[in-house]
Amino acid sequence: MHDAALIIASFFLGAVPFGVLVNRALGGPDLRTIGSGNIGATNVTRALGRKAGFITALLDITKGLIPVLVGKNLGLDTLSLSLVAAAALLGHCYSPYLGFRGGKGVAVGFGVCLALAPIPAMAALFVWTLSWLMLGVVSVASMAAAAALIPACWLLPQTRPYLPITLFVLLVIVWRHRDNIGRLRRGSEF
């Protein structure tokens, strides 16, 4: 019973569009009509600056982290924890509060992985930072970081049970970046 309730709650918490809320609180324009049209931290940063982007990223990470930590404290098994994580990610990417539109899942994906597999999550953060510093392209850094989760989880026996959910995180992030991939191929991604 705890499992199903937490999965549902995780979806609706994940669906809270913090980028839109931060943007409104600061009097910015509708995020969906500017820049990439995305509601995530990168577009908030472009629209309102680094402070607003950082707040959005932190809130998005937290909405992935909290439900999984609650599930751990309730003693949920690996499958149930993975479903809680997937629900938060899908809620963010397909928010019912925004007509089933949403973000790309990078910060929420980091949050759920930080709760499930902290060392691989930190390895992914390192890969994101290094990729961004070298290339300056957030979408490439985000996909590289998500890809880094897989070998990082495999290397640690205690995190191997979370390989399926980390693979799911990777696939969702790549899918949500499909427009960015098209722009990368055309050389117009920034």
Q: Would you call 103 helix, strand, or coil by DSSP? A: coil
Average pLDDT, the chain: 93
Q: What is the pLDDT of residue 60?
A: 97
pLDDT in tens, 32-60: 777 777 888 888 888 888 999 999 999 99
Q: How many domains does the structure of the chain reveal?
A: 1
Structure tokens at 95: 């928010």
Q: How far is C-alpha 129 from the chain's CA centre?
A: 15
Tell me the C-alpha distance between 83 and 156, whole Å. Answer: 21
- Over residues 74-83, the pLDDT tens digits come to 999 999 999 9
The model carries a pTM of 0.93
DSSP 49-90: -HHHHHHHHHHHHHHHHHHHHHHHHTT--HHHHHHHHHHHHH
What mean pLDDT comes out for the span 159-178?
A: 95
Residue 27: domain span: 2-186
